[in-house]
Chain A
């Protein structure tokens, strides 16, 4: 639903500190969407600044914005703005912070970018090294073509 998360009855603010030292002041109910942060708060009630050692400031900013604005329309447009490296880093952040909605959105985005792409493209864009031997490579190239004869190759 398209709602800006409104201030809870307790207007407590929290500070999140990204890995590069950038500070973000967020409302408690926004921070609680990050289950990792929630667990932190549950453990130490009086805490005011929570360190997020695995996430850069630039990505934390994006994540916080996502939590504030998420809805169907926003999600559909959200993933288009980011390049592949950022998408993967955002997914790592969402995974660490344990935000299920954002994780799902980003997984779908990454899957979509793999659609109809060749193995070479995937390697380049995801920074994966080809560790097949030349013989294996040659064998794999031919494999299973016979199973999908009716489909377009990319």
Chain B
């Protein structure tokens, strides 16, 4: 190490790089942006993916998931392609970038939407992906896919953040993009656990193994023109079963009983009987996702306690 003279002034840049990294990791996003204006060396350091990845995880981890990230990658590809290329034509008149599509006409879903995408071009061309992503979320310009809690079901939506109120706006993912919520708080959102959009029936991989007591989420829609929502339910016993654990053969039956606990026992809405192996795409019920995480199950039970009919 160089000997430091008493008379020369010490600069932050004299610190070893690893030490400087520790300091930078302690800074907030705004401070990182300010620091990046100080000199060219710090500009490079303060825009590094590593630093912004930390902030992404810290602030956005609960609501921005793997499938939303795939949408982001799609926009990155479109924006960084050369002007005039086929992909570049995805950018519409209002300078936004449309994400992926799913479903089939007229039941089409948009995966995401990035407003004023030109804002991010220079950052993306310089490979500062995480910083661009963080800013796109913070500024509300990125309408990303997430799920909205509504009572005992979740609704697939595209959400955009408002940094002034620290809440979100939501639009339906169907092509009309109608606003379906304003001033939505963080705890009403979660990231999409499956790639399936609300316009498409989910392909269930758990039908065979479902047995009474399993916690699930099941798609349901009011009619074939409406998008699916995901409802929480529990697998129940057949009427013929005496619910004795040792003698229950419900798992082997072709009939699957899906029980919605928010309805009273005698209500006709309480149980739905579905056929295990038929994918009836014209009906109101869609695919099933088995819940494995205690956290998810607990959250639903808490919501149930709030909403239980007496």
- A residues in contact with B38, CB < 8 Å: 119, 122-123, 128, 130
Would you call A135 an interface residue if the criterion is a C-beta within 8 Å of the partner chain's C-beta atoms?
no
Q: Does B37 contact A (CB under 8 A)?
A: yes
Contacts of B119 in A (CB 8 A): 146
Are B22 and A88 neighbours in the complex by a CB distance under 8 Å?
A: no
Measured in the bound complex, the distance between the Cα atoms of B9 and A140 in whole Å is 27
Which positions in A face B, CB cutoff 8 Å?
19-20, 53-54, 56, 85, 88-89, 91-92, 95-96, 103-104, 107-108, 110-111, 114-119, 122-123, 126-132, 140-141, 143-144, 146-151
Task: Report if A132-B39 is in contact (Cβ < 8 Å); known contacts: A56-B6, A88-B10.
Answer: yes
The smallest C-beta distance from B204 to any residue of chain A, in angstroms, reads 40
Q: Are the C-beta atoms of A95 and B9 separated by less than 8 Å?
A: no
- A95 and B19 contact, CB distance less than 8 A: yes
- With both chains docked as a complex, state the minimum distance between the C-beta of A131 and any C-beta of chain B, in angstroms: 5
Please name all residues of chain A whose beta carbon is closer than 8 Å to the beta carbon of B194 when the two chains form the complex: none
Q: Which one of A89, A128, A151 lies within 8 Å of B4 (CB-CB)?
A: A89
- Once the chains are docked, how many angstroms separate the CA of A150 from the CA of B135? 13
CB distance from A144 to the nearest CB of B (A): 6
> In the complex, how many angstroms separate the beta carbon of B55 from the nearest chain A beta carbon?
13
A–B complex contacts, Cβ < 8 Å, 18 sampled: A20-B6, A88-B14, A91-B19, A92-B15, A95-B16, A107-B19, A107-B23, A114-B23, A115-B31, A118-B34, A122-B35, A122-B38, A123-B38, A126-B11, A131-B41, A148-B30, A151-B30, A151-B163
Query: Of the candidates A85, A104, A140, which one forms a contact with B10 in the assembled complex, judged by CB atoms under 8 Å apart?
Result: A85
Q: Does B282 contact A (CB under 8 A)?
A: no
Cβ-defined contact, A127 with B23, below 8 A: no
- Give complex CA distance A14, B137 in Å: 56
Does A107 lie within 8 Å of B26, measured CB to CB?
Answer: yes
The reply to whether B135 and A147 form a contact with Cβ atoms under 8 Å apart is yes
The reply on B138 being an interface residue by CB < 8 A is yes
| Contact of B34 (CB < 8 Å), options: A89, A91, A119 | A119
Chain B residues contacting A118 (CB-CB under 8 Å) are 34
Chain A residues near B163 (CB-CB < 8 A): 148-151
Cβ-defined contact, B15 with A111, below 8 A:
no
Query: How distant is the Cα of A149 from the Cα of B135 in the complex, in angstroms?
Result: 11
Is B33 in the interface zone, CB < 8 Å from A? yes
Residue of A nearest to B136 (CB): A147
Complex CA distance for A85 and B27, rounded to whole angstroms: 20
Instruction: List residues of chain A with CB within 8 A of the CB of B26.
Output: 107-108, 111
Asked if B31 contacts A107 (CB within 8 A), the reply is no
Contact of B31 among A89, A114, A140 (CB under 8 A): A114
Q: Are B39 and A103 within 8 A (Cβ)? A: no
CA distance A24 to B145 in the complex (A): 62
**In the complex, are the beta carbons of B39 and A116 less than 8 A apart?**
no
- B residues contacting the other copy or chain, number (CB 8 A): 38
A132 touches B40 (CB 8 A): yes
Which residues of B are in contact with A by a Cβ distance under 8 Å? 1, 3-4, 6, 9-16, 19, 22-23, 26-28, 30-31, 33-43, 119, 135, 138-139, 162-164
Minimum CB–CB distance from A37 to chain B (whole Å) comes to 15
A127 vs B10: C-alpha distance when bound (angstroms): 7
**Smallest CB-CB separation from A153: which chain B residue?**
B30
Are B37 and A85 in contact, CB atoms less than 8 angstroms apart?
no
Closest partner residue, chain A, to B34 (CB atom): A119
CA distance A123 to B139 in the complex (A): 28
Whether A119 contacts B35 by the Cβ 8 Å rule is yes
Q: Which residues of A contact B1 (CB under 8 A)?
A: 54, 96
Chain B, Cβ-Cβ closest to A114: B31
Complex Cα gap A115–B12 (Å): 15
* Nearest CB of chain B from residue A129's CB, rounded to whole Å: 7
Interchain CA distance A117-B30 in the complex, whole Å: 10
Nearest CB in chain B to that of A141: its residue: B37
Beyond the given pairs A110-B12, A116-B31, 19 more chain A to chain B contacts, judged by CB atoms under 8 angstroms and listed by A's residue number, are: A20-B6, A54-B3, A85-B9, A88-B12, A89-B10, A91-B15, A92-B4, A95-B16, A107-B19, A114-B31, A115-B28, A117-B34, A119-B35, A119-B37, A123-B38, A128-B13, A144-B33, A148-B163, A150-B164
A26 to B118 alpha-carbon distance, docked (Å) = 61
* Distance from B93 Cβ to chain A, minimum over Cβ atoms (Å): 20
Task: Indicate the member of B6, B12, B15, B33 with the most A CB atoms within 10 Å.
Answer: B12
In the complex, how many angstroms separate the beta carbon of B22 from the nearest chain A beta carbon?
5
